[in-house]
Every structure is written in structure tokens, then in C-alpha cells.
Structure 1
Amino acid sequence: MRATFMYGAGDVRIDTVPDPVLQQPTDALLRVVAACVCGSDLHPYHSMPAGEASPMGHEFIGVVEETGSEVSTVRTGDLVIAPFAWSDGTCEFCREGLQTSCLHGGFWAGDGIGGGQAEAIRVPLADGTLVKAPVGEDSELLPGLLTLSDVYGTGHHAAKTAGVERGDTVVVIGDGAVGLMAVLSARRLGAERIVLMGRHKSRTDLGIEFGATDVVAERGEEGIAKVRELTGGHGARRVLEAVGHMPAYEQAVGVVRPGGVISRVGVPQYSEAPVGFGSLFGPNITLTGGPAPARAYIEELMPHVLDGTVQPGKVFDRTVDLDGVPDAYRAMDRREALKVLIRP
């Protein structure tokens, strides 16, 4: 089969590798029908040292081709959604809805598991990981369902951990796909005012379609002042940080009101962040977030995708086949594409 590998910063290639095979009775084999490039894939694209090839891709849906003898929840021919972390569904953390901390699980393209930007993949712990979708692989809903593997679940996680509720004022920092999904999720949870901090008009226009009421293009102190002006001088009670870089975190600290919550779901590209008296402790600000347990949210969010209540698939603005994946990385890195759908 053919699959995507990264060999170093800026070096993405499509290689031919052996087809995956069942290794455990709890495995399933999938033929990948849709995958995508994640904004977090751009972090190694910028900084990965040259060396051993790393498989890429953690967002995908596929058709079950074969199952191990102990798999009971899916069967051959099912279209299934794979969240970006695989999990057993039975350990104490899975039972608490925290599958990203599963005692026996792991993450795609790591832990010796292949990536989803490929023609096929082996899924460990299939019963705990995969969720059947009640449509066929030719459904026009595939882009929206694909967002449930990560980006929509991550935006929802940001809003949920921040405690967004009806009538709230929310600030979303970042106009990438996760930020736009955070806007969509905050609106779905009832937020009355949603300020989107982003400066790319095509993206912020989609953010407005998803529910943003205000857009702030300014950054740094200027952006913080603008948000505070829009929020009566005190800042917002809920702030969703969807970037992962220190300037975004500093903006979050600058726009959150005393007693408010900052939820970080952008993968942090820094090791330290201010949490002391002058930043979070003094004004009683809560810091939360983390990697979204997407598996916990799929059944909750999928009905709204199926009935068209929400259309998260609109974040995909380009589609490529496997040969086009290296160009997809370049396009997203250059901000020429928001999020690229892959059809192997």
C-alpha cells in the first residue's frame, strides 16, 4: 500500500510499504476512505530533525476490511470513524470519558502504529476505538464526519472544559480549523457573544457563519485592548485558546476576566507559561483544556452532523489524493489552505 511519511522538516513523501495485517484478536483492518492534514502536523513540518521516517496522519475514517476474532462492535463493510487516540474503552480513564489517557491505548503515527494518511491502517483495540457511522462511503456527509475524528471534537472540548453555557461571552483565539470548530461549539452550547481573534478574512468569514459575532484582527496589546473594549473593560468569562504558541497564551491571559476560564486545546509549542499571582492566581482564573478525548464526544456530536444542524465539513477548502499530500502540507503551511481533505 501507499502511505505518507515525514523524513524531516518540510520533507513529506509518499512511500510504498507492506499492507497492514491483523496482529491481535482485538485488531481491525481499515481501508481509508478519507483523511486530512491537521494543523498540529505542521509543528514537525517546521522542526523535525532529518532522520528516520515517521508515519503521518491521525484523522481518518474508513471501511472495515477484516476484524480479529474478539472484535464485536464493528464488522466487515462498516464505515467507521477513528478518533485520533486509540483506546480500550474499559479502563478507569475510558470509563471517565478520558480516552486520551487510556491505560492500554496510544496515538496514531506513534507507539509503533501507522498513520492515517494512507490507503489502509491497522486499528488496535477496535471495539473501544471505532464508531460506526450509519452512511456509506459515498455519502456527501463524509467531510463532516471526518471532523469528528479530531478537529470538531477538539473545538467542542475547548468549549466544554471552559464551561460555556447559554448567554456566555466567549473569546476564541485562532482562526485555524480548531478555532473555527471552537466557535461552532460555543454557539451550539448557547454562547450569546463570540469574539473570534483572527486576521485571515476567508477564515473569519467562515467563523461568522459558524456563529462569531465579532472579529478582532489585531494582535498583542492592541488586540487585548480591543477585546476588553468589546467586553465592557473586564474581558470574557470563557477564553478558548486554539493556537498553541506563547503569544496566543499571552492574549488569553490578557482578555480573560477575573474568575474566568482559559481552555487551551492548541498543542503547546512552549514548555512554560505564566500562572503566578499577576497572571492567573491573583484574579482567580482557571486554566484547563488538553488533548480532546474525541472518542467520548463522537456519539454526542454525530447526530447534528447527520441531520445537517451543523456543517463542520466546511473547514475543508481543498481536496487531494495521496500524491497531492506533500503539496497539501505546503499549502497549509503557507496559509493557502485552511484544512486539506485527503481521498486516498
Structure 2
Amino acid sequence: MHAVVFNGPHDVAVREVAEPRITDPMDALVAVRAAAVCGSDLWTYRGMASVAPGARIGHEFLGQVVDTGSLTDQVRVGDWVVAPFRYSDGQCEYCRAGLTSSCTHGGFWGREVLDAGQGELVRVPFADSTLVRIGDGDEPDESMLADLLTLSDVYPTGTHAVVKAGLDAYSSVVVIGDGAVGLSAVMAARRAGADEVIVLGSAHPDRRQLALTVGADRFISVRGADAVQQVADITHGAMVSHVVECVGTQGSFDTAFGVVRDGGTVSYVGLPHQVSIDPARLFMHNITLTGGMCPARVYMPLLMDEVLAGRSHPGRVFTATLPLDRVGRAYELMDRRESIKCLLTVGA
């Protein structure tokens, strides 16, 4: 079968690899129909992650179950499903507490298991507790693939950020980041009833326009102290009680702490890279720092219902669609910020 392989910095390509098979009675095999390139994949692509050349890549995918182990009975052959970015057993103490991202027997695609999402077939451990059926398991309409694919990662992650931030009706929030997760957080903030959503992003007009389209009230395209000053001007110096950080750099964290008011909350879901945080700053200003890796599997059923009912359209974060064999171009587009997020079509 064919799958995307990381060959080294700025080099990903489709290669012929061994076809996966059922190795555990709780496994399922999924024939991938659509996959995605994630912003976190770019850390690997740029050679900034501890991923060895030759590794599979990709953790967002949906498709059809084509085989199952003898103990798999919740998902069946023929079902159309979405996979979260991390598999989980559904039984450990963390899963029972709603923290599937910390599952003691779970793992990541392409790391704890060989298969990854950007390929034709994936072996899914703990299939019953990992996979989420699309409706009754029937093939979804082509027009819904992009919306459904966001349930693998970015839409639950944006939702998790808003939930952990404690955002509720009539609150104001600053969202730092204009990538797919930041835009998903904007949509989640609107769903939570936010009174004002301010996005701190880049100078790319397409990102500004999409942010405003999906629910942002204001879009600030400067950074650092200038961004903090603009938020101060907008809020008449009061700043905001809720900040959602969706980037993961030192600069984005510094900005988050600059725009949050005393007693406020910073919720971070951007994968941190070489970030240093001063606890004394949090202490002196009574700032709550929360967030972390999203337990996507917990959020997926509710968000699935919203998507299938047509109440949410998170697939707007995909601004390019390419076939799997053009994966190199997809990574280039995102690396150069020419596309917010790329969808890869696989199979039929």
C-alpha cells in the first residue's frame, strides 16, 4: 500500500510500505478516504521534532472499516468512521475520567503504532473505544468530508481550549493564532456565547477574512508589545479575562500573559516549543494557566452531532485540497503559509 513517509527536513513523499493487518482482537483496519496535514506536522517537516527519517506521518483521518478483530463489536466492517489523533482503550482510569489523551495504553499514530493517518490503510488499536462512527455508519456526503475530518483534531482542540478557558456567555476572549486551531477556537467561542472575540494573527489577508467570517469581531495583525497595546486600547486598559493560546512559541505565551487581566485565565493548546514560563508572574497576578493536550475522543460525539445537523461548518479551515500523491506540495503550501490547512484525498 501507499503511505506518506518523512524522509528528512522539508522532504515528505508517498512510498510503498507493508500493508497493515489485524494483530489484536480489538483492532480494526480503516481504509482512509480523507486525511489532513496538521500545523503540528510542520514541526516534523521542518526537522524540529524528534522524528527519525523513514517514519510515517499524519494523525487526522476518516474512512471506512474494512476488517475487524474478533473482539471488536461496536464498529463493524462497512462503517464510516473518524479517528481522533490519539487512540485510547476507553477503560483505564484516565479514560473513565474523560482524559483519553492520557490513556495508559494509548498512543499516537506513527509513534506507538507504525501506521499513520496519511496513508491508504491504518490499523486502529482499541477500535471500539477509539473510532467514532459517522451517524449510523453510512458513507457521508462528499460535501461533509472536510467538516467531519476536523473532528480528528483541530475542532475538538479549539473547543477544548475554550472550555478550559472557562469562557461563557457575554465574555470577551483573545485568541492567539490564526491557524486551523485558532480559527476552530473562534468558532467554539461563538458557540459558547462569547460577547467579543479578538484574534491576534498574521498579516495574511485570507486568514483575516476567514477569521472574521467564522466569528471574530476584531483581527489584530501586529505582534508582541504592539499587539498588547492594541488589546489595551480596545478594552480601555481592562484587558480580558480569557485568553486562548494556539501557537506554542515563547512570543505567543508572552503575549498571552500580556493581554490577560489579573485573575484571568490563559488556556493553551498550541504544542509548546522551547517555552519558558515564570511562575512568579502567574502568582503575582493570580493568573490561571490551563489547557494542554485535547482529549479529542471525548468531544467528538457532540461535535459530530453538530456537524451532521448542519449547525457547524469547521471544514472552512481547509483552504486547499490535493490528492495523496501530491503531499509534498501540501506541506509546502502550509509551510509557506499559502494555505491554512490542507486536505488530502485518498482512494476513490
- Return the offset for 1:29: 0.2
**Could you tell me how far apart the structure 1 residues matched to 2:114 and 2:231 are?**
43
**Per-residue deviation, residues 130-186 of structure 1 (Å, max 9, x unmatched):** 010024144311110110010000000000000110000000000001000000001
- Return the offset for 1:92: 1.0
State the partner residue of 2:112: 111
- Return the offset for 1:6: 0.6
- Return the offset for 1:274: 2.3
Name whichever of 42-51 and 124-133 sits farther off.
42-51
Q: Secondary structure at the match of 1:47?
A: coil
Question: Which of the residues 263, 266, 270 maps onto 2:270?
Answer: 266
**Could you tell me how far apart the structure 2 residues matched to 1:234 and 1:173 are?**
18
Question: Which of the residues 152, 156, 161 maps onto 1:153?
Answer: 156
**Could you tell me how far apart the structure 2 residues matched to 1:36 and 1:152 are?**
13
**Could you tell me how far apart the structure 2 residues matched to 1:153 and 1:165 are?**
17
* Contact 1:83 1:130 (C-alpha < 8 Å) held by counterparts: yes
- Return the offset for 1:208: 1.1
Superposed, which structure 2 residues align to 1:8-47 within 5 Å? 8-47=8-47
State the partner residue of 1:242: 246
State the partner residue of 2:145: 142
State the partner residue of 1:66: 67
Q: Secondary structure at the match of 2:207?
A: helix
Deviating above 4 A after TM superposition, structure 1's stretches of 4 or more consecutive aligned residues are: 48-51
Which amino acid counterpart does residue 5 of structure 2 have in structure 1?
A: F
**Per-residue deviation, residues 44-100 of structure 1 (Å, max 9, x unmatched):** 111257953111010001100000000011001100010001001111111111101
State the partner residue of 1:168: 171
* Contact 2:249 2:275 (C-alpha < 8 Å) held by counterparts: no
Question: Which of the residues 180, 183, 187 maps onto 2:183?
Answer: 180
State the partner residue of 1:281: 283
- Return the offset for 1:307: 1.6
State the partner residue of 1:121: 122
Q: Secondary structure at the match of 2:155?
A: helix
Give the fraction of aligned pairs with identical amino acids, expressed as a percent: 47
**Could you tell me how far apart the structure 2 residues matched to 1:50 and 1:81 are?**
25
* Contact 2:249 2:272 (C-alpha < 8 Å) held by counterparts: yes
TM-score by length of 1: 0.97
**Per-residue deviation, residues 164-220 of structure 1 (Å, max 9, x unmatched):** 100000000000010000000011001000000112221121111111111111111
**Could you tell me how far apart the structure 2 residues matched to 1:304 and 1:208 are?**
21
Change (3 A) 1:270 1:50: closer
* Contact 1:245 1:269 (C-alpha < 8 Å) held by counterparts: yes
**Could you tell me how far apart the structure 1 residues matched to 2:318 and 2:51 are?**
30
* Contact 1:9 1:50 (C-alpha < 8 Å) held by counterparts: no
**Could you tell me how far apart the structure 2 residues matched to 1:31 and 1:51 are?**
25
* Contact 2:32 2:62 (C-alpha < 8 Å) held by counterparts: yes
For the aligned residue pairs, the C-alpha RMSD in angstroms reads 1.2
Structure 1 stretches of 5 or more lacking a match?
none
Q: Secondary structure at the match of 1:118?
A: coil
**Could you tell me how far apart the structure 2 residues matched to 1:7 and 1:51 are?**
8
* Contact 1:33 1:137 (C-alpha < 8 Å) held by counterparts: no
**Could you tell me how far apart the structure 1 residues matched to 2:201 and 2:64 are?**
37
- Return the offset for 1:275: 2.4
* Contact 1:93 1:101 (C-alpha < 8 Å) held by counterparts: yes
